[in-house]
Amino acid sequence: MVFVDPSAHLEVRLLSASADDAAARLLVHHPGIAGIDAARAFLEAIAAGPKAVLFGTYRGGDLIAIYALTKDGMANDLATIVVDPAHRRLGIGRMLLQAALRRSGKRPLVAQTPEVILPFFKACGFKMVGRRVQPSGEVQFRVGWHAPGAHFKGGTTSALNHLPLNRTADTDR
């Protein structure tokens, strides 16, 4: 399944293994990823997970953003979302959250985020549901959003089609 935003010239699709190097270069811009080796390890962990999928956002054939979803009990977990610094503050992150909500369907969408990214999630309508101090001393926040019928800036999820979080329904292009 491919999601295309013609007005922004963006295409969101499953990320193939051939894009791992480009995805790792993007992941180093995430505050929770410390270097290219950690980024590659994160990608390997996502690929090995039976309930995880990684999506890439392309503009003109270039990978400019990624997000990963995993099934976590009764919810879907947004394992990561990162936009290339050159493409930030253009609404791409918000569009990816909306795409993740569509894929989440009736399941709540949750994420764990460092404090520096918390304002982004709050601005997009997520609510803080928890706070945890990591062994490193860093504070992580748990945010969530129950999608069906919820309102977000720019629309409502009740008008969105249910797209299952399912590897077999999606194909690489």
* Burial (CB count within 10 angstroms: exposed 0-12, middle 13-18, buried 19+), residue 48: exposed
- How do the domains of the chain map onto residue ranges? 3-159
Cβ-proximal residues to 101 (8 Å cutoff; 6+ apart), any chain: 109, 145, 147, 150, 152, 157, 160
Task: Read off the pTM.
Answer: 0.72
Name the amino acid, one letter, at 156. Answer: T
Distance CA 139, CA 112 (A): 10
Q: How confident is the model at residue 5 (pLDDT cuts 50, 70, 90)?
A: low
Q: How far apart are CA 43 and CA 24, in angstroms?
A: 7
Q: What's the pLDDT tens digit per position in 48-96? A: 777 888 888 888 888 999 998 888 888 888 888 889 988 888 888 888 8
CATH number for 3-159 (one of 2.170.140.10, 3.40.50.300, 3.40.630.30, 3.40.50.11270): it is 3.40.630.30
Q: What is the pLDDT of residues 113-146, one digit of tens each?
A: 888 889 989 988 889 888 988 888 888 899 998 7
Say whether 87 sits in a helix, a strand or coil.
Answer: helix
Please tell me what DSSP assigns to residue 10: E
